[in-house]
Structure 1
Amino acid sequence: MNCEDEYMKSISKLIAIIIVAIFVLSAFAGLFGTLLSS
Structure 2
Amino acid sequence: MAIEALRDALQQRKTTPSELMTFAAIDRVTRRMEPLIKAMQ
Q: Under a length normalisation based on structure 1, what TM-score does the superposition of the two structures give?
A: 0.34
More helix by share: 1
**Structure whose CA Rg is larger:** 1
Pick 1 or 2: higher relative contact order, CA cutoff 8 A, min separation 6: 2
